[in-house]
Structure 1
Amino acid sequence: MAKIVEPIDELRVLVKDLLAKCDTLERENKRLSELCAGYQLQLSEAKAQMEQEKQRAQAVVLAQSLVTVSGSAKVARARVNSLLRDIDRCISLVNR
């Protein structure tokens, strides 16, 4: 009978070890999932910021073209400010 009990005890120990490793891996998986979600949030924020910077760059290009066309920096600046306000309003509407 002792010959049967020994392998069963060994199996119990192995199963207990496997369950402990499983718990450890589940905790690690949860931590990594949360970390991944945080990185995805950072990425989406960076993409939004990059899009805003692209829009600002386009506004600068437009401003330079307006100065060239209108010949007056004051008129061009007023037009660019108007366009920037429109862009900011659109961005705030999108963010709602």
Structure 2
Amino acid sequence: MGNIEDIVDSLESKISKVLHKLELLRLENSKLSEAIATSQQELKNQKLLVASWEEKYEALKLANSMLGSDDNKRETKLKINALIRDIDHCIAQLSE
């Protein structure tokens, strides 16, 4: 009978260790999930910041070309033509 008790005690000990390890893994998983969420939010913020800077850069490029910069004259003409087409389209819709 002592042999069975030893086996049961050994199993209880192993189950206890497994349950403890499971709890540790759950805690680590929770921490990692929080870290992922934080990183994703930071990435989203960085993407918004980059988009904002790109928009400012394009506006600056357009302003420079309107001031007589030779580098972007073609782009400026295309942009102005696109704006004129948009305005014409809006006027056509309003006149209907």
> When the two structures are superposed, what TM-score results if normalisation uses the length of structure 1?
0.70
Match of 1:18 in 2: 18
Deviations along 1:19-51, whole A, 9 cap, x unmatched? 000001001100110011001000000000000
**Gaps spanning 5+ residues in structure 1: where?**
70-96
Cα displacement (A) at 1:68: 1.3
Counterpart AA for 2:61? V
Correspondences of 1:1-96 after superposition (within 5 Å): 1-68=1-68
Structure with higher Rg: it is: 2
Q: Distance in 2 between matches of 1:7 and 1:65?
A: 85
Deviations along 1:60-90, whole A, 9 cap, x unmatched? 1000111118xxxxxxxxxxxxxxxxxxxxx
Counterpart AA for 1:55? E
**Gaps spanning 5+ residues in structure 2: where?**
70-96
Q: Which has the higher contact order (CA 8 A, sep 6+)?
A: 1
> When the two structures are superposed, what TM-score results if normalisation uses the length of structure 2?
0.70
Q: Distance in 2 between matches of 1:65 and 1:50?
A: 22
Identity, in percent, stands at 29
Counterpart AA for 1:41? Q
List structure 1 segments (4+ residues) > 2 angstroms apart after TM superposition.
none
